[in-house]
Structure 1
């Protein structure tokens, strides 16, 4: 029987596109995936914050929230307090990390630096109150001595209770609520006057300075920084650059120092909040929360017309009031 020739079927269509056509699509797919991840992380952050401070109509969930809530986003430290290169009179700016109601240690620190209210101006980096025993004394001292301060996340929680904003978990925030009930109108008004960011230019030994409680995102103008991030951030997600209060990402100060050094006029950030790192001094950032309320130290950074570089002072905090 003669062999029959079986007609060849056409080759199946390839499921693979040529390499040159695949690359643009792969890049687009990666961008879509990264965008979805960034959106998811942002949503989780805001959801976590909303559990404490309420739904998105409540404080701190977008760049406009500072204005909507009446927060003071940015203020300048008066020029008369700033020690500059060619000043002949003695002036000192005294930056102090998180006090947390540790009034006794605050007084010991001021005694160590020979504080003089006529030549020295104190700047507190937020979290003045809660956890420690003497929050009201710290506020009264601030009022009596014309102290400057920035708003910390603990200060914010107390004020939210005082102003009767929603805070759904009373058991979780009972300390802040109890303190809020003790505030006088004058004390609440002074604490509420602390802006999110303080600015001081041409500080001797430091240059241009921004003081915040927790941190800043590089590349975002000061007047557009997110209030929640300013008060709570510790790290930045490695890919999305979304700020987080957690510690698993890249420390925001590391990124700040990496990129800010290329600016024509760099800005040094002085901050608190990150107690786990303790005193954290870098060329363009100065972290001053040295964990006083947990039995660590209370730290001051002093810029003066009499010294070329700022000096660090600290005192031991005898008792741990917080775990």
Structure 2
């Protein structure tokens, strides 16, 4: 059995199929870890959802910010933006089945035996694994609960930017969403910043990539994540960044987690229509 992790797909179904062929992925034996953002901006989001959903327990997909936005749009809590490409899902006959499956995807997945932790964007520097798992479980329970639509109406927003142990209610859940699915840079004391989307070095002098904050409490983990296309495929001890910008016309990347020393695989976006800027 092989365990592969794949970066942000964002509706790029054809590159995903080519990458699975390159990996010689066996759905009867192998496992896929997916960093989230299965949907949006690319041309074939519903096909991606159907493929991953159809793999059942052979696929582990964590929620990304675009996946959560889709849930909010499907629940009627927000309107889609001009750049969003949710229409194929919203008009699909199996829409309800796919949305029910998607909101039951976890925000975080940890495999102690394998030695890897999967999230979409990262972990804030104040969180160790136990706290990250607790906050992710609270978010998962809310999304799977009967009042999930009410939460989706309060999910968006940039505050609070800094973790506090006494956060509660929607503030606590919103920080969890922003940390796990939107974070790139933060201050040295862990305040999240969302305006900067460029590569490390492009940010202001008071900001650091979240994984470069001194004293980060989760530095002992092997973290697999995506979300940061301008960072691209980036691999240093404990950090495995896999968003190589397929939807922007670049590449879709995979690594093998059960044999982490082997080189990565990637396929070009090829004939994908240019993504909207």
TM category (shorter chain) comes to 0.7 to 0.9
Return structure 1 stretches of 4+ with deviation > 6 angstroms: none
Q: Which of 174, 188, 194 is matched with 1:245 structurally?
A: 194
Q: Which residue of 1 aligns with 2:122?
A: 215
Answer whether contact 2:183 2:193 (CA < 8 A) is retained. Answer: yes
Q: How many residues align?
A: 219
SS in 1 for 2:112: strand
Quick one: distance in 2 between partners of 1:142 and 1:280? Answer: 24
Mark the structure with the bigger radius of gyration: 1
Q: Which residue of 2 aligns with 1:178?
A: 87
How far has the Cα of 1:311 moved from its partner? 3.6
The question of 1:269 aligning with 2:218 is answered no
How far has the Cα of 1:116 moved from its partner? 0.5
How far has the Cα of 1:141 moved from its partner? 0.3
How far has the Cα of 1:322 moved from its partner? 3.2
SS in 1 for 2:84: helix
Per the alignment, do residues 243 and 270 of structure 1 end up closer, same or farther by CA in structure 2, a change over 3 Å counting? same
Answer whether contact 1:295 1:321 (CA < 8 A) is retained. Answer: yes
- Aligned pairs for 1:135-214 within 5 A: 135-146=45-56, 147-165=59-77, 167=78, 170=79, 172=81, 175=84, 178-179=87-88, 181-183=90-92, 184-203=95-114, 207=115, 209-214=116-121
Q: Which residue of 2 aligns with 1:96?
A: 6
Q: Which residue of 1 aligns with 2:261?
A: 309
Cα deviations across residues 17-52 of structure 1 (Å, max 9, x unaligned)?
A: xxxxxxxxxxxxxxxxxxxxxxxxxxxxxxxxxxxx
TM-score (norm 1): 0.63
Task: Report which structure shows greater RCO (CA 8 Å, sep ≥6).
Answer: 2
Cα deviations across residues 157-181 of structure 1 (Å, max 9, x unaligned)?
A: 111011122x2xx473572563552
Per the alignment, do residues 256 and 246 of structure 1 end up closer, same or farther by CA in structure 2, a change over 3 Å counting? farther
Quick one: distance in 2 between partners of 1:187 and 1:141? Answer: 11
| Cα root mean square deviation, aligned | 2.1
Specify every segment of 5 or more residues in structure 2 that has no aligned partner in the other structure, as ranges. 137-175, 197-202
SS in 1 for 2:222: strand
SS in 2 for 1:140: helix
Per the alignment, do residues 224 and 101 of structure 1 end up closer, same or farther by CA in structure 2, a change over 3 Å counting? same
Q: Which of 2, 26, 44 is matched with 1:134 structurally?
A: 44
Answer whether contact 2:83 2:276 (CA < 8 A) is retained. Answer: no
Quick one: distance in 2 between partners of 1:242 and 1:105? Answer: 36
SS in 2 for 1:215: coil
- Aligned pairs for 1:257-296 within 5 A: 260-261=218-219, 266-296=220-250
How far has the Cα of 1:260 moved from its partner? 4.5
